[in-house]
Amino acid sequence: MKRRALIVALLGLPMLAQAQDAAQPELPKEKLVIVTHDGKRHEFQVEMAITMAQQTVGLMFRPNVPADGGMLFDWGQPRSSQMWMRNTVSSLDMLFINADGTIRSIAERTVPQSLAVIDSRGPVRGTLELAAGTAERLDIRVGDKVEQRIFGK
């Protein structure tokens, strides 16, 4: 059984490498709302990165991210999240979100093309990538709440 899993994994590597050479097609979108500390509600339509292949490519090669858009990486269950900006040409804000929808940490204005690891600083259920400057513009802070189905909302 382990041998079969290894063979399947190895056969899939060329497809995964190919997928990293270009932007992936737009993924299905879902509504997401961020409720800030002052009670303001900010609505987004975010692409849902569910599979490992979708998560590996993420927003690579995308020239920009819409002000009301982004990508939500659903890790399925809480785990540490390490992201990087390899092949990502536009700066992003990354919000690391606990299983209850509380924002655990924020990395603002990430550096395009950087290989530096951006860490969640603990287990999170999801990672939200938004256009750079969104957290500052909307005054989004650690402790604010995210409403989306994967967080039980």
- Domain range for 54 is 2-151
- Classify 12 as helix, strand or coil: helix
CA 108 to chain CA centroid, Å, is: 13
Give me the DSSP letters along 65-102. --TT--EEEEEEEEEEEEE--TT--S-EEEEEE-TTSB
Instruction: Report the predicted TM-score, pTM, of the whole model to 2 decimal places.
Output: 0.85
CATH number of 6's domain:
2.60.120.1140
Q: How far is 26 from 58, CA to CA, in rounded Å?
A: 10
User: How does pLDDT run across 17-60, given as a tens digit for each residue?
Assistant: 444 667 888 999 999 999 999 999 999 999 999 999 999 988 88
User: How does pLDDT run across 86-99, given as a tens digit for each residue?
Assistant: 999 999 999 999 99
User: How many domains in the chain?
Assistant: 1
What pLDDT is stored for residue 23 in this prediction? 80
